[in-house]
Amino acid sequence: MLRLIRLSSSLPRVKIPKANKMPARPTIAEDEFKEKFIKGGSGKGGQKINKTNSKVQLTHIATGIVVTSQATRSREQNRKIAREILASKLQDLEDPANSRRRIVMERQKMVKARKNKKTKAKYETLEKNKQEKEDLLEGIDEMVFIDENSEPVQVDTKQSKQKLLKQL
């Protein structure tokens, strides 16, 4: 199922697919960039990260975009992550209206807005119910309860209202 939403006045309306129907991840050819391995300087991995060339730096030849990745201690995983980032940035440059990154961000905004709407409705309902209970008990001046022997017993109204509010 696709939904139409308006993102801004500068961009046209775009269909935002469900999470399981997202556009394919962009790819990039190996001859379009230079790859360089650098010794890492900071981040997770302890002393080992300072000794190994696990940080990956990709430079796109045509545009000059430079991307580095040191997300993990593994050089192969960092290579994969850097390629994904570079391909995503290139797609943003080529077609910003239909880029996967923007579509994912818009989907996250929609999910967050829906969650906030549900939360707001929940607390409005709770507050409404609480107010109805208080209004119901507000008009009562005197409370009379019947005990087990069927004899009426008069009780302090303020304490009784509080007890009833807790029970309701």
Distance CA 41, CA 53 (A): 10
Residue 71: predicted pLDDT: 86
The answer regarding whether domain 21-98 maps to CATH 3.40.50.970 reads no
Consecutive 10-residue averages of pLDDT for the chain (168 residues): 52 61 79 89 69 89 93 90 93 85 88 95 94 76 57 59 62
Q: Is 128 exposed, middle or buried (0-12, 13-18, 19+ CB in 10 A)?
A: exposed
Residue 16: predicted pLDDT: 65
How far, in whole angstroms, is CA 9 from its chain's centroid? 24
pTM for this predicted structure = 0.56
* Domains in the chain: boundaries: 21-98, 112-167
For the chain, give me the number of helices (H) and strands (E)? 4, 7
Residue 123: predicted pLDDT: 96
Residue 165: predicted pLDDT: 60
**What distance, in Å, lies between the first and last C-alpha atoms of the chain?**
42
Are 156 and 145 contacting, i.e. CB atoms less than 8 angstroms apart?
Answer: no
Residue 14: predicted pLDDT: 56
Going from the C-alpha of 41 to that of each of 38, 45, 70, the distances in angstroms are 9, 10, 9
Residue 120: predicted pLDDT: 96
Residue 1: predicted pLDDT: 46
Please, what's the largest Cα pairwise distance for the chain? 95
